[in-house]
Amino acid sequence: MHDDHLNPCATGMAVLNKKTLGIFGIATSKKYHGQGLASQIISELLRWGRLRGAGFAFLQVEERNLPALALYKKFGFTQQYSYWYG
């Protein structure tokens, strides 16, 4: 997603593996926080996956990223497990 001057505003990607959709890299430039851009991207990625047969979606988020956790909760995502890279 970009503004009228082609400056990046927000981004995200999804990968479909059979019926499972993985959502990755959701990010919004600070200047555009709070404008619903991440919600628009997630909605579109979920729609894209559904149209291609996805029946399940997952994502990863750092547990301290409270704004992202709140956003993903609005879409019905719940924590299934946690892990730690060390």
Q: What domains appear along the chain, each with residue ranges and CATH number?
A: 10-74 (3.40.630.30)
Residues 42-77 have pLDDT tens digits of 999 999 999 999 999 999 999 999 999 999 999 999
Joined tokens for residue 72: 């993903």
pLDDT of the residue at 7:
77
Residue 3 has pLDDT above 80, yes or no: no
> What does DSSP say about strands 20-28 and 56-59: parallel, antiparallel, or unpaired?
parallel
Q: What is the pTM of this model?
A: 0.89
Q: Return the sign of the alpha-carbon dihedral for residues 32, 35, 36, 40.
A: negative
Residue 6 has pLDDT above 80, yes or no: no
pLDDT of the residue at 31:
93
Residue 5 — pLDDT band, cuts 50, 70, 90?
A: confident
Cβ–Cβ < 8 Å for 10, 32: yes
